[in-house]
Structure formats: structure tokens, C-alpha cells
Structure 1
Amino acid sequence: MFEKISVNSLKYKTSELPNIPTNECVLPALTAGIQNQGLNNYVPRDNATILKNVISISANGANTGATFYQSKEFTVLQDAYAIKWIYTDEKLSDNSYIFLTSSIHKTIYGNYEWTNKAGWERIKNDKIKLPTKNGKIDFDFMESFIAELEAERVAELEAERVAELSAYLKVSGYDNYELSDEELDALQKFEMLEWSSFNLKDLFGQSTRGKRLKGADRISGTLPFVTAGEADEGISAYISNDVEVFEKNTTTIDMFGSAKYRNYKYGADDHIAVVHTEKLPKYASIFVTTAIHKSSHNGQFNYGKNFYAKDADELFIQLPVKNGTPDFETMELLISSVHKLVIKDVVLYSDKKIAATKKIVSDN
């Protein structure tokens, strides 16, 4: 059903070839790689055998037997080859080629290795399974089957987009991601804000220090237990021990000065200072956390000099002011704006992904 395509031998070294198109090297070249369908280098078109709408097969390395349908122009560089359909006189559609490619890949990939490479002479007699009708290969089924899969993929992406948007809006408490007039105004006036320095203890009272709880003494449960570190935002375990429970909408500062906003109740060990911002509106509290982090996490605290609750009480942070007092309303608007803009970026990314998928489908 297939034959190997003869191509001009190219003497280029892959190490000397670009991985992106240049003025001279514009033609994708096939190697034994699996990334980008094996098209990992670019060569000049001169003296190259230009192929299109054929199947490529890796013939070397860990990916020997990896099979791809190449619908765009390319050439063969090394450690791979291309085959074309010869069983019937009719020209096969892209969808039929995709179906054939998947059948070949399923048959040979994983059955060959370094010492038994998937060269053409070895695989050409392997059998592949294809749909038939009245004793003949059913190309109509291949066409409709691949088209249906492509339509399902587009539908899945669109459903994922709706679900992602709904989830982000729900968590953030928004109906939509469009900025309000007040949020737009706050963003536009950001450069004109007046700032002032404030002591944390004066703003929120004395900070609290957690208590040590050895790992061996922790009893499994549902209460997040915060320790120093960035992994999982410092949550090292979920416990049921009888420990002090700190309120949500507060800020923790670990031994290195790293500040994090907590929107849930939690316990904390002795390397954690808790700043009691719970009376602030949520987004104002998040803004304050960023201001704390900027002031406390710039290298002055480390293993040799830990950050403690007393350091939080002495810490000064920069905040926007109005009439000489912290402008928490503007802080809320700014953080709300940032949240909505991030959600919008995620939605736009999803839209681009769907549009790209639709274009690939239509091109095929």
C-alpha cells in the first residue's frame, strides 16, 4: 500500500542548522526527533527533495517508529524517511492520511528500538488494521471518523472555555470580567496616587506568632497547617490537632519574610507571623499583603536571621492615601481590576486556542 520516497541526500550537520527559519534556511527538515513532528531544523531549498502530504517515520533513536502525517512542505534530513500511498490511483484526503498514520503508528511504535530500528525494510511487511466495506477499504468512514473527532475536539475546547470562565468568575465573586467605571478610573489614576509609609502594628495591632508542632505529632485532618516555604503556599500538612486557629482574610509572613494572603482558616508553626488584616475588605487585604511582601522579602531575612512577629510589628509598608489615611477603597478597586484583567487574559487565550484548532481543522 505504501512505498518509500527517494530523496536527495543532504550533507548538513544538524548542529549547524537553525531551529527557526532564516533568510537562507526556510524548508523544514525531518530528523528522528518527536518534537514538532520531527521537523526540528531548517535547510535551504536548493537540492532538497520537497515533499508534502505524505507520512514520515522516525528510523532511529528512542523515538524510532514515531509516525506523523506531514501536510506542509518539508524534506528529509537524516535518521527518518517518508512514505506515500500507492494502493489506489485516487488522491487521498488529509483525513484519510491522518487515519492511516494513526494505524501505522499504533502498529510499529513501541515495537522497535535502538537495536531493532524501524527502517523501511523492517516495517514494510507489517500489517495495519483499516475499516472495510464490501471488501474494500472504507475511505468514506475514515473521512467522517476523523472529521467527527476534530469536531469533538473543538466542542471540548469550547466547553472547557465556558467552564474555566464560570469557575474563575465564581471564585472571584464576579458576574463578568468587564471593568466597572470605578475600576477603570482607579487604573487610569494609578500613577497619580499619593503614597505614605505606615507601621503594621499601628494599622492592625500586634502580630501573632504560631506555635511549633513537630511533624511526628501532627494528626491528619482538614485544617491547613502553615510553615515556612513556597511549595503549596507553605501548607505542609492538614491537621486535626488542638492548635490556635487563625481567621481567614489575614496575612502570614514566614521566617524568610515571604508574605501570603490566606482566604481560609489555618494553623501555623513558630516560624510564621500572622498579621491581623481580617477586618479589611478582601481585596484591600490582598493589596496590603503585596505591600508587606515588598517590604519584608528583599533579602534581609534568611536562615541566619529569621523573621518573627516582633519584626512584623516594626515593619513599615507603603500604601496609597487619601486625606492622610490609607485609601483602602482604591486598593480594593485596583486588586479587583487586576483579577478581572487576568480572567480576561485567560479567556482570550482560550479563544485563541479554539480559533487555532478550528483553523487547523479547516486547513485539513
Structure 2
Amino acid sequence: MNNTESIDWKEFFISGDDGIFTIEATKSGIDKNKLLFDGEDFTPYITRSELSNGINMFVPSQQLPKYALDNGNTITIGLDTQTVFYQPHSFYTGQNIQVLSSDRLNKDIALFICSMLKIQMKKFNWGGNGATLGRLYRTKIMLPINKSGQPDYVFMENYISRLRTIQSSNYVAFIKKHLKELGKAQKLSPLSELDWKPITISRIGSVLKGHDIYDAERVDGNMPYITSGSSNNGIGYFISNQNETIDSNVLSVNRNGAGVGKSYYHKYTALFGGDCRRIKLFDSHYKYAPYFISTEIEKQRKNFSYSRKLGTGRLKKLQIMLPVTSAGKPDYKYMDQYIKNIIIEKYNTYLQFLSK
């Protein structure tokens, strides 16, 4: 791979007379409550979210006439969140999205430039210092240059293409290794034909408290620190602190916040904050059954809120529906193979996609 340290770099304005992009406010800017849902939902609806490439949902392409589709092969920047994403397809947006376009863009060049834009977006923040059009016009980014002193789009494209090739190769090797470990998918009875029974959490595992590590105490490191987040498997930070909550092969359940009731499985070693609880299953023989149980726990989320937290006492008494054996015990063997089958199917789908 060409080395980014072996080439010359130069500052360029993002936009304006000497800039590399044309910047415009979104053509749509539709509030979510004004979206129309008559038709097939194939068009991305982009918001200022940091997740899923900014895609909040998919909506029909036909919206009210005053809202125009934004063109694909562009880059979006969220005004307040400073999120930066490449959008390959035409899209609608929520409020406060800026759209960057250039005739030189393609997917690989855009991904390279997005990484440079994200570095500059760190200087903006919520409130009065957001990424407005005026500020973006005056912002510069560093880019590799060719012998003429202009952005070296060929280098950028080749760099990302090569990186993708390496990552794809590594991922294929990873999938094939895990498929070998998983074995073949097995035919199972449909969920609708199983016997189900409400099972109390305290019957299948120990419920343990977390321990807060506050901002001033946290030291950067490699240990996942599980908080009450709604994404990234609940990982809020990576730290080097140690305390009595260190554990692995456990379920976490958020006790508080917007993500109350969300549950994740952590096969890796981690620390756990005070706004989550962890469940240590009594039967630890099954590697994949915990993912099934986690999903069933999340189905109870509607019963909890900011004013009704899912603390230790409530979690111990919480009942979830699980498939059971003829003896009335949780059918861990079925749950384990059910999740295996899903993973095997997904991995094979990914391999087919990567082989195209």
C-alpha cells in the first residue's frame, strides 16, 4: 500500500472560490412527522445520527413536492453533531444537513476525504459553534497532492481500494475460520411450534451490580467499560482501570436512561458501570444461547422507563419467555443452535457479497 507519509500534503479550503467542494444546504430537510409512507421504502432518510451512515430509516421516494431528493455520490455533514458520511444513493434528510459535492468524487475518494473532514469537525460542537455553511467555507483540510500541487485523487482512490482489498481478504479468512468452527446449519422446529414458558431471571443466572468509574478517574486503555449506552454493544469507553466488576461471558442489562432494558452479551473481559447490571448464567456450557436470552430480555423494555428503572431487585424478578424442554427447563441446546444457524446464514451471505 502506498504510504501516506511518503507523499506531500497541502491545505485546501473545503469550499468557496478556492475550495474543492460545492456546499449546499440539503434540498429536503423534512421533519420526521411530515414524511409520507405511501409506497415502497427504498430511499435513505439521513439525519444527524452518528450511526448507520446517518441513515435513520428508509422512506418512499415520493414525498411532498416541495421536498427535493438530494443527489447521491455526495458527502453529508450534520450541523450540530458534526457527523460526516458518504452517501452513494439519492436521499432525503432531516433538518440541518449540509451536502458536499464534487465532479471528482467516487466512493473511494469520498471515503478518504471523509476521514480528513472528520478530523476538522472535531473543532465544532453543539450550540453556537456548529458546522454552519459559513464556517465550513472557511475550514481547511489536509490532502495529498500531485506534482502540480493539486489534490492527488488517484492516490486517494488507490489507497482506499487497496485498504478495502486487504480488509476484505482478512474478513473472508475470519468468516471461513468461524464457519468451520460453527459446523453445518441444523434443521430446527420453527419457534411457533416450540413450548414456551415464562422464566424468572434469578432462576437462570446471578444478577450483579456495576461500579461507576467517573470521567476524572478513567484512564485510557484496552479494557471495554460497559455503560448504559444504546449502541456499540453497550461499550462506552476503553480504559485501563480495574475494579471488582471485571467479568466475561456475561449479559449486561441497562438499568437506566434512554436505553433502559437493552441487553448485550459480552464474551470478552470487561468492566461494568453502575447504570447496568450483569447476569452470570448458571449454565455456561453454551456459547451462543446468551444471544437468544439477551433478545428475550429486550422484549420487556416497554415495561421500564426513566421513572421505572430496571434495578437489581426488578431484574431478579423479571420474567422472560424462553423455549423449554419436555422437563420444563430452558432449552439451551435449541437456543444455541438457533443462533448458530443465523450466524452461518449471515456469514454465507457476506461471502457471496464479497465474491461479487
Deviations 1:124-182 (A, max 9, x none): xxxxx9xxxxxxxxxxxxxxxxxxx99xx7x9987765432212344xx33177x73xx
Question: 1:350 and 2:351 equivalent?
Answer: no
Q: Out of 310, 319, 333, which is 1:316 matched to?
A: 319
1:307 positional shift: 1.6
* TM-score, normalising length: structure 2: 0.51
Aligned ranges 1:12-161 → 2 under 5 Å = 35=72, 66=103, 161=168
Q: What corresponds to 2:208 in structure 1?
A: 208
1:210 positional shift: 0.7
Q: Out of 299, 314, 319, which is 1:294 matched to?
A: 299
Contact kept, 8 Å, 1:274 with 1:309, in 2: the verdict is no
Q: Which structure is higher in helix share? A: 1
Q: Residues 280 and 311 of structure 1: is their aligned pair in 2 closer, same or farther, counting only changes over 3 Å?
A: farther
Matching residue's letter, 1:291: E
Deviations 1:252-289 (A, max 9, x none): 00121111111111111211111112724111122111
Structural RMSD (CA): 3.9
Q: Displaced runs of 4+ in structure 1, greater than 6 A? A: 155-159
Q: What corresponds to 2:174 in structure 1?
A: 167
1:326 positional shift: 1.1
Matched residues in 2 for 1:174 and 1:335: separation?
A: 13
Question: 1:218 and 2:218 equivalent?
Answer: yes
Q: Out of 307, 310, 316, which is 1:307 matched to?
A: 310
Matched residues in 2 for 1:292 and 1:62: separation?
A: 42
Matched residues in 1 for 2:245 and 2:100: separation?
A: 53
Identity %: 20
Deviations 1:332-358 (A, max 9, x none): 110000001111111122233xxxxxx
Matching residue's letter, 1:175: K
Query: 1:241 is paired with a residue of what secondary structure?
Result: coil
Q: Residues 34 and 330 of structure 1: is their aligned pair in 2 closer, same or farther, counting only changes over 3 Å?
A: closer
Q: Residues 156 and 62 of structure 1: is their aligned pair in 2 closer, same or farther, counting only changes over 3 Å?
A: closer
Matching residue's letter, 1:338: I
Q: Out of 180, 183, 186, which is 1:184 matched to?
A: 186
Matching residue's letter, 1:201: S
Matched residues in 1 for 2:347 and 2:168: separation?
A: 11
Q: Residues 161 and 225 of structure 1: is their aligned pair in 2 closer, same or farther, counting only changes over 3 Å?
A: closer
Aligned ranges 1:229-248 → 2 under 5 Å = 229-248=229-248
5+ unaligned residues in a row in structure 1: which ranges? 1-14, 21-32, 42-60, 69-128, 130-148, 353-364
How many residues get paired? 214
Q: Out of 332, 336, 340, which is 1:336 matched to?
A: 340
* TM-score, normalising length: structure 1: 0.50
Q: What corresponds to 2:34 in structure 1?
A: none
Query: 2:299 is paired with a residue of what secondary structure?
Result: helix
Deviations 1:93-136 (A, max 9, x none): xxxxxxxxxxxxxxxxxxxxxxxxxxxxxxxxxxxx9xxxxxxx
Deviations 1:31-79 (A, max 9, x none): xx97469xx99xxxxxxxxxxxxxxxxxxx9857x379xxxxxxxxxxx
Q: What corresponds to 1:8 in structure 2?
A: none
Contact kept, 8 Å, 1:233 with 1:260, in 2: the verdict is yes
Q: What corresponds to 2:261 in structure 1?
A: 257
Select the structure of larger CA radius of gyration: 1
Contact kept, 8 Å, 1:161 with 1:347, in 2: the verdict is no
